[in-house]
Amino acid sequence: MLKSRARLNRQFDRIARHIPQTAGILAHLRRPGARWFRIPLGIVLIFGGVFSFLPVLGIWMLPLGLLLLALDLAFLQGPVNTAIVRGMRKWSTWSRARRDKKRSKR
């Protein structure tokens, strides 16, 4: 369980590095006292991610909501970590292939 928690913290750190504007908000949400705000926010984000076909909402809400809930629900930590890591690997593979395809067209 400690390993899952450390991996989850690394995922949040990665988000904060890639999107520096979120670093302060994520740091605030990761505090132990923010649990009563974090759980409802996670549920709302998951709900919004399910309805990502609407103009304002997006699929980005689903993994963020799951990450927030995994901070408090230990049984979600393993599956969420695995899904996020696999998703990031697929994303980087896809974006690398797309970038290489653009370079070859030049």
Of 34, 58, 30, nearest in space to 45 by CA:
58
pTM: 0.75
Q: What is the pLDDT of residues 34-82, one digit of tens each?
A: 999 999 999 999 998 888 877 777 888 888 899 999 999 989 998 998 8
Looking at the structure of the chain, the number of domains it has is 1
Which structural domain, as residue segments, surrounds residue 39? 2-105
Q: Give CA–CA dist 106/103, Å, rounded.
A: 5
